[in-house]
Amino acid sequence: MTSNNLAPIQIKAKRNGFLLMPDPEASFDSVMEYLNQHLKESQDFFKRSEMTLDLRARPLRTDEISALHSLLVEKAQVKLVEVKLTETLSFVVDRPLIQQQSPPPSSVPSRQATSARITVSPLIVRNTCRSGTRIESQADCVVLGDVNPGAEVVAVGDIIIFGNLRGIAHAGADGDRSARIWALSIEPSQIRIADLVAVPPKGSKPAAKRFEIAEVQKDMIEVILL
Amino acid sequence: MAGKTLVVTSGKGGVGKTTTVANIGTVLAKRKKSVVMIDADIGLRNLDVVMGLENRIVYNLVDIVEGKCRKEQAMIRDRKLNNLYIIPSAQTRDKDSVQPEQMKDLCCELAEEFDYVIIDCPAGIEQGFRNAVAGAEVAIVITTPEVSAIRDADRVIGLLEAGLLRDIHLIVNRLNHRMVKKGDMMSTTDIVSLLAVPLLGVVPESEDVVVSTNRGIPLVHDKGSRAGLAFRNIGGRLCGESIPLEEDAGEKFLDRMKRLIWS
C-alpha cells in the first residue's frame, strides 16, 4: 500500500470500475508518465474497464484534461465514464464529448439520430459559455448560464439554456428538424436547427426576459414566446 | 509575507492596459505599498515610455530570465516614488524568449519582496498572454464599451478561468457618460451583465490621458483629472477599501468648481 500512496495518481477499484485520483502535489507530467507506464504494463487488465476521473483535489487545465482523456481512451482503450471537476461540476461521458474542436458530427438519417439520443445522457454545462467555447453533445444539451457572443453550442438533440442565448446554437445537428432550442431569451448571432439557419430580424430591440423556444415551422425557424 | 501578483489584460489592443498598469502601480505606491511593475509585452515595449523612464533602461526582462543580470539590476526606480519600480521588456526580442515557467518563478521571487507585482500583458491570446498570466493570482480585465473589446474580454475571461485563475475583476475604460445617456454607447450595467465578473471601477474618457502618456507622468499625480480620480479609487478598492463607484450622472457642480480651482 505504501507504494500506492506515493504514486502521483491513485487508482482505486470501485464496484463498477476504477477511480483515478491525481495527487494534489504531483506535477501533471509525472501523472501522465506514471499512468502511461502503468496502463502499458497491465493493458489487458484495464482494457475496456470503466473509469472515473476525480479532479476535485487536483484541478487540471482543459488541455491537460484532454491530453489525459486521449491517453486513456485512445492509447489504453479505457472507457472514461465520468470526469468530476468540482463538487458541483462533473461531466458524464459516454462518448468522447470533451473534444473541444472536433468536426461536426456527420449526417445521419434523423430517425436513427432520435433513437441514439435516448440512449446517450444529456450534457450538462454548469457555467456561462464565453466567447471561444464550443460545446458539442451527442444528445441534448443543458446550459445553466448564458451563451455569450462568440460561443457555440452544438447538440444532436435539443438545446436548453437557462440564461440568455447571444451566441450560436445548433440543435438537431444530425439533421433532426424536430429539435428545438429553449432559452430565457433568444437574441443570438445565429441559430441553426438541422439544416436550417436563421438570424434575428435587424433592428429588433431585445425585450425583457421571458422564456422562448425556437423550432421549425414550415421549413422556417421561428422563435415563439412561451 | 508574500505580496499579491496582478495581471492586467484585455485581449484586444489599445484599450488601455499599459495606462492602467502605470496608474494602478503609482496609486498603490502612493499608498505606501512597495510595487514592481513588469512589462511583459516583449518586442513592443511601452510601459517605460508611459512612466517616463525610457532613457534609464540598461537591462530588461529577458536579461533577467537569461541570467545576464540580477533582477535588482533591471529594476528601474520611479522618478517621484522610491517604492515603485518597473522591469522593462526587451524591444529587440520576441515573445518566445521567455517561457511561462520562468515568468512564474520570477513573479514568485518578486512577490516575496514586494507588496504588489503588477504585470502588463500584451494584446492577443498567444505565447505573450500565456507568459504574462502564468505567475498571476489576480487578473484585472480591461475593456472599453465597444462590442469588439467586450467580445475579446469575454474570451480572455474564459481562458483565465480554464487556466484556473478565479480571482478576476473588470475595469471599464473610456466610458463616455454623455453617449451612454443618449443611448449611443453600451452602459456599464450591460457590460457587467454580459461578462459576469465583479466590477473594480469605471474610468471616464478623458483627454488628460493622452497628455499624461505623452509627458510620461501617470495621471494619478494630477489631482484635477476625473480619470485620475477613477484610478485612485480603483487603487483604494484593491487595498480593500469600499469606495462607491463614481457618479454616473457626469460632473457634479461641486466637482466642476474643484476642477476650476485646481487648474
pLDDT at position A5:
52
Q: Give the separation between CA B56 and CA A32, rounded to whole angstroms.
A: 46
pTM: 0.72
pLDDT category of residue B247 using cuts at 50, 70 and 90: low
> Cβ–Cβ of B158/A59 closer than 8 Å?
no
In chain B, whose CA is at the least distance from the CA of A131?
A: B155
Whether residue A213 has pLDDT greater than 80: yes
Q: Which residues contact B47 (CB under 8 A, 6 or more apart)?
A: B18, B21, B22, B37, B39, B41, B86, B88, B89, B120
pLDDT category of residue A70 using cuts at 50, 70 and 90: confident
pLDDT category of residue A93 using cuts at 50, 70 and 90: low
More confident of the two residues B171 and A78: B171
pLDDT at position B196:
92
Please give the mean pLDDT across all residues of chain B: 91
pLDDT at position B1:
52
CATH homologous superfamily of B4-262: P-loop containing nucleotide triphosphate hydrolases (3.40.50.300)
The secondary structure of B19-39, three-state, reads HHHHHHHHHHHHCCCCEEEEE
The CA distance from A193 to the nearest CA of chain B, in Å, is 25
More confident of the two residues B263 and B196: B196
pLDDT category of residue A54 using cuts at 50, 70 and 90: confident
More confident of the two residues B171 and B263: B171
Instruction: Write out pLDDT tens, residues B117-126.
Output: 999 999 999 9
> Cβ–Cβ of A130/B157 closer than 8 Å?
yes
In chain B, whose CA is at the least distance from the CA of A166?
A: B194
Chain A CB contacts of B157 under 8 Å are: 130
- Rounded average pLDDT over A42-62: 80
The CA distance from A112 to the nearest CA of chain B, in Å, is 35
CB pairs under 8 A between A and B: 33
Q: Where exactly are the structural domains of chain B? A: 4-262
Match 514568485 to its residue by C-alpha cell. B108
Whether residue B39 has pLDDT greater than 70: yes
pLDDT category of residue B40 using cuts at 50, 70 and 90: very high
Comparing CA positions, the residue from B141, B143, B138, B142 lying closest to residue B164 is B138
Instruction: Write out pLDDT tens, residues B168-220.
Output: 999 999 999 889 988 888 999 999 999 999 999 999 999 999 999 999 999 99
- φ and ψ of B117, to 5 deg: -115, 120
> Cβ–Cβ of A146/B196 closer than 8 Å?
yes
> Cβ–Cβ of A132/B152 closer than 8 Å?
no
- φ and ψ of A178, to 5 deg: -85, -5
Chain A CB contacts of B194 under 8 Å are: 146, 148, 166
The neighbouring-strand residues paired with A90 are A84
Chain B CB contacts of A149 under 8 Å are: 147, 151, 154
> Cβ–Cβ of B154/A166 closer than 8 Å?
no
- φ and ψ of B228, to 5 deg: -60, -40
Cell readout for B221 is: 499625480
Which of A59, A132, A149 is closest, CB to CB, to B158? A132
Chain A: which residues have CB within 8 Å of chain B?
Answer: 59, 61-62, 127-128, 130-133, 146, 148-150, 166
The CA distance from A160 to the nearest CA of chain B, in Å, is 19
The CA distance from B222 to the nearest CA of chain A, in Å, is 37
Angle between helices B127-134 and B100-113 (to 10 degrees): 30
Please give the mean pLDDT across all residues of chain A: 79
Chain B CB contacts of A133 under 8 Å are: 158
pLDDT at position B174:
94
Percent of chain B with pLDDT over 70: 93
